[in-house]
């Protein structure tokens, strides 16, 4: 598809009217595309996919609806590009942050950078969360968290092995850690407190010190299990 600029309001511009041309320069196809992506990102974050219309996007950009269709084929196409960009941005950042030695300062810096990403890219993060809530395991955000958990799994596996514990538990602990960070980031984006550095410090305090003090063979007491079974009653068919 050719990203040809097609803004109606620019049709009156010509070489015989330099002042007007200077004030209302025709956007290139790339510039128009980026403008539409920025506007779409903002509206999708505020209202969601269903609550946003092509008419609103076009009106805010000062163009006709066909211009939006020309660049993205429709609202679905625009939304897909917005989401893909956010996924790539967050996954690339997570991969970079998890690289290197497994030290507490590294993870402290990673937590700060992650929360800074959420703060600076609130619209994009809200779109990812709205697309699929944390813990759902489906949709773009759920898939993204699963990908990140897959990377964390190797780190946790090494952590457990170094402490003589079963590395087969790494996938479960990785899901727990990523879920903890994801829910905390979502909560903090709306709460706006405590300060970013304090949230990061407490996240790593819980994660790092929690892993360091893991019981190698945790068990739920037998009396609690028996009490729960009694409350549940006989199994169906018995």
pLDDT in tens, 190-202: 998 999 999 999 9
Alpha helices, DSSP H, located in the chain: 18-23, 29-47, 54-61, 65-72, 75-97, 104-120, 122-131, 139-162, 170-191, 196-212, 222-232
Q: How is the chain split into domains, by residue range?
A: 8-73, 83-216
Closest to 39 measured CA to CA, from 66, 55, 60? 60
pLDDT digits (tens, 9 = 90+) for 200-230: 999 999 999 988 888 888 999 999 999 999 9
Residue 3 pLDDT: 44
Residue 12, SS3? coil
Read off the pTM. 0.73
Please state which CATH number belongs to domain 83-216.
Answer: 1.10.357.10
> Residues 6 or more apart from 196 whose CB is under 8 A from it?
112, 115, 116, 119
pLDDT for 26: 84
CATH 1.10.10.60 fits 8-73, yes or no: yes
**pLDDT in the model for residue 220:** 93
């Amino acid at each position: 598809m050719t990203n040809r600029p097609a803004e109606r309001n620019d049709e009156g511009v010509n070489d015989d009217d330099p002042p007007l041309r200077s004030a209302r320069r025709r956007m290139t196809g790339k510039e128009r595309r980026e403008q539409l992506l920025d506007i779409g990102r903002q509206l999708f974050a505020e209202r969601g996919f269903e609550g946003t219309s092509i008419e609103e996007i076009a009106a805010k950009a000062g163009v006709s609806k066909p211009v939006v269709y020309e660049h993205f084929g429709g609202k679905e196409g625009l939304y897909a590009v917005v989401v893909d960009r956010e996924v790539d941005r967050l996954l690339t950042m997570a991969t970079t942050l998890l690289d290197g030695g497994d030290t507490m300062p590294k993870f402290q810096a990673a937590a700060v950078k992650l929360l800074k990403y959420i703060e600076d890219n609130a619209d994009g993060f809200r779109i990812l969360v709205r697309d699929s809530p944390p813990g759902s395991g489906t949709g773009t955000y759920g898939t993204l968290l699963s990908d990140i958990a897959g990377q964390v799994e190797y780190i946790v596996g090494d952590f457990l092995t170094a402490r003589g514990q079963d590395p087969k538990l790494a996938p479960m602990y990785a899901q727990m850690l990523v879920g903890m960070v994801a829910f905390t980031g979502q909560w903090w984006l709306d709460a706006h407190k405590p300060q970013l550095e304090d949230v990061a410090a407490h996240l790593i305090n819980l994660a790092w010190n929690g892993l360091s003090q893991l019981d190698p063979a945790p068990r739920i007491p037998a009396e609690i299990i028996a009490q729960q079974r009694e409350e549940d009653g006989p199994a169906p068919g018995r």
